[in-house]
């Protein structure tokens, strides 16, 4: 039985507007521990029908039911809905370029992370427009340990109420050291939490107490993570996150994909 695995993400290193009236942009955090597996249904099992209009936009015929097994909760900021569309396209024969597939996802959903690209963290992505704004530098190897804090929050494609991060995007393009990237990610998270909430988020305090270089969040969603140099996650990190109220604690590396 044909099946596919689509990796998700774990929030964003950066997300916000490029200027007060500019496009909403982001740099995603790829994560092998999120996403989903999907397979075409066998004759004796019932699944969900993928959206026919989406498949037709890619020139794909048919609409066989599929069974989807997500690896992270909905509304967490891990790209489950986009991953499901990518899986449906691949199960129905899509072999085209990632840019065309992502454009179809954004046209269908109204917003998306660039999960079909092989190195999505190297892209400054216009998430409501489905286009690459700029190629970004490679990040030094690092580890992230994180979990989910607070209620789920689904992405509203019409929601553009995010802070300006144009200065952070410029600095990201010029950064080379991990500590610089980590501080920029932390500042993006701070601005978003100050602008949008929720209040009482423990992520920055956890980063400070555990000696992390910085932290990341899902700017829409519940994913929260701490950034460490490769191999330097302290043994107490997972238990500290759980004690602070984070659920589904996981650890992954930037070089896992």
**2 vs 4: CA distance, rounded Å:** 7
Q: With H, G, I as helix, E, B as strand and everything else as coil, classify residue 146.
A: strand
| pLDDT single digits (tens) 165-187 | 999 999 999 999 999 999 999 99
pLDDT: is 44 or 202 the higher one?
A: 202
The total of other beta-carbon atoms located within 10 Å of residue 239's CB is 10
**145 vs 141: CA distance, rounded Å:** 14
CATH of domain 142-253: 3.30.70.890
Backbone angles phi, psi at 121, to 5 degrees: -70, -5
| Alpha-carbon distances, residue 240 vs 77, 152, 197, 208 (angstroms) | 22, 21, 22, 12
The answer to whether 59 and 97 have CB atoms below 8 angstroms apart is no
Q: With H, G, I as helix, E, B as strand and everything else as coil, classify residue 151.
A: coil
Give 3-state DSSP helix, strand, coil % of the chain, rounded to 5. Answer: 30, 30, 40
Q: List the domain boundaries for the chain.
A: 3-135, 142-253
Q: What's the chain's average pLDDT? A: 95
| pLDDT single digits (tens) 198-212 | 989 999 999 999 999
Tokens 């929030």 locate to 11
Q: With H, G, I as helix, E, B as strand and everything else as coil, classify residue 35.
A: strand
The CATH fold of domain 3-135: Ribosomal Protein S5; domain 2 (3.30.230)
Q: What is the pLDDT of residue 58?
A: 96
> CB neighbours of 161 closer than 8 A, spacing ≥ 6?
195, 196
Band (257; pLDDT cuts 50, 70, 90): low
The answer to whether 197 and 113 have CB atoms below 8 angstroms apart is no
Tokens 């066998």 locate to 42
| pLDDT single digits (tens) 21-40 | 999 999 999 999 999 999 99
Q: What is the pLDDT of residue 62?
A: 72
């Amino acid at each position: 039985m044909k099946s596919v695995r689509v990796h998700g993400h774990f929030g964003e290193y950066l997300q916000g507007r490029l200027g007060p009236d500019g496009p909403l942009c982001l740099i995603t955090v790829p994560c092998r521990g999120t996403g989903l597996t999907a397979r075409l249904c066998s004759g004796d099992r019932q699944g969900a029908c993928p959206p026919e209009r989406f498949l037709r936009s890619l020139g794909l015929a048919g609409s066989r039911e599929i069974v989807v097994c997500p690896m992270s909760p909905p509304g967490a900021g891990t790209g489950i809905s986009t991953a499901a569309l990518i899986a449906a396209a691949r199960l129905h024969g899509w072999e085209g370029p990632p840019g065309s597939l992502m454009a179809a996802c954004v046209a269908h959903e109204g917003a998306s992370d660039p999960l079909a690209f092989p190195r999505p963290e190297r892209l400054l992505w216009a998430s409501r427009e489905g286009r690459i704004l700029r190629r970004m530098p490679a990040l030094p190897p690092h580890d992230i340990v994180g979990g989910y804090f607070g209620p789920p929050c689904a992405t509203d494609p019409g929601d553009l109420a995010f802070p300006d991060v144009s200065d952070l995007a410029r600095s990201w393009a010029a950064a080379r050291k991990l500590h610089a990237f980590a501080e920029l990610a932390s500042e993006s998270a701070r601005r978003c939490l100050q602008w949008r909430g929720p209040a009482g988020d423990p992520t920055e305090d956890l980063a400070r107490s555990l000696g992390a270089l910085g932290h990341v969040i899902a700017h829409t969603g519940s994913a929260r993570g701490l950034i460490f140099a490769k191999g330097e996650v302290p043994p107490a990190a997972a238990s500290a996150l759980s004690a602070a109220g984070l659920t589904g604690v996981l650890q992954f590396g930037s070089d896992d994909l």
